[in-house]
Amino acid sequence: MILTKSILSMTVAVLQLASLSSARIANRASPNAAEVIYSHDGRTCCTDGERGAIFSEGKCEYNSQAVTPSIPDDTHVTKCCWNNKANDFHVHFVDDDEVRQVSPIDITGNATVPIEICNLGLKWNITEYILTEDYLDINVNLNIDCGPFNLSDREWIRIHFDSAYRDSGEFAYEISAVGPTIYATITSKIHRSDFSVDFHGELTGTGILSQLDQSFDKNLRADEVAAILSEANIC
């Protein structure tokens, strides 16, 4: 009896699921679908209260709505958003061959951040940048000075136009050809108020330094970078 009951309730649940998904399919197929707004801005996030929609197999999908964007040749969709007020999709797209131009910049700085194992000395210089619609790549030499270690590495670090932390890249410091490596894994976010950037770093190591697990934070405001960020669309 109990068994029958539970099989019954399972069956009901399965049926409910099935009717739900068939309702969705029916809605998607219907031609009274949403309108589409297009922006040739290459954005990869939604703003102004719009919600992120799924872009999959050439279609934007949001709940029961779906649309196949119609964009010019040699462009591609970077983000589909859903505008609740207008019941519209908002499709962002960009040219396939968007040029990435390297420009010079000259920023140097230093800081000391006390962490558990040392008074971490940081020294950086930034010599080049690449600006795109969605992020700023900066070419950074970061010197870390901690106890017996004084190491430098140069990497491209990505500042996404986002006010929430996003991955930015990683510095790798080889202590010797056969010794352990120290990694500084960086995330960053932009402050909309003054266009400064918060960098968060995680220091980890390999081999004999595999116990290393320290983090540091540094807010950086450089006029040249702030000027670039003030023109950006920040998510």
Binding site for ligand NAG (CB under 6 A): 109-110, 123, 125, 127, 141, 143, 145, 150, 152
Please say which residue, 124 or 195, places its beta carbon nearer to ligand NAG.
124
Short-list 216, 139, 156, 221, CA closest to 182: 216
Please say which residue, 125 or 163, places its beta carbon nearer to ligand NAG.
125
- Residue 215 contacts residue 142 (beta carbons within 8 Å): no
Please say which residue, 28 or 123, places its beta carbon nearer to ligand NAG.
123
Report in angstroms how near the CB of residue 45 gets to ligand NAG at its nearest.
32
Report in angstroms how near the CB of residue 179 gets to ligand NAG at its nearest.
18
- Residue 135 contacts residue 158 (beta carbons within 8 Å): yes
Report in angstroms how near the CB of residue 126 gets to ligand NAG at its nearest.
9
Report in angstroms how near the CB of residue 215 gets to ligand NAG at its nearest.
21
Please say which residue, 9 or 150, places its beta carbon nearer to ligand NAG.
150
Residue 121, both tokens: 């000395």
Please say which residue, 154 or 200, places its beta carbon nearer to ligand NAG.
154
Report in angstroms how near the CB of residue 152 gets to ligand NAG at its nearest.
4
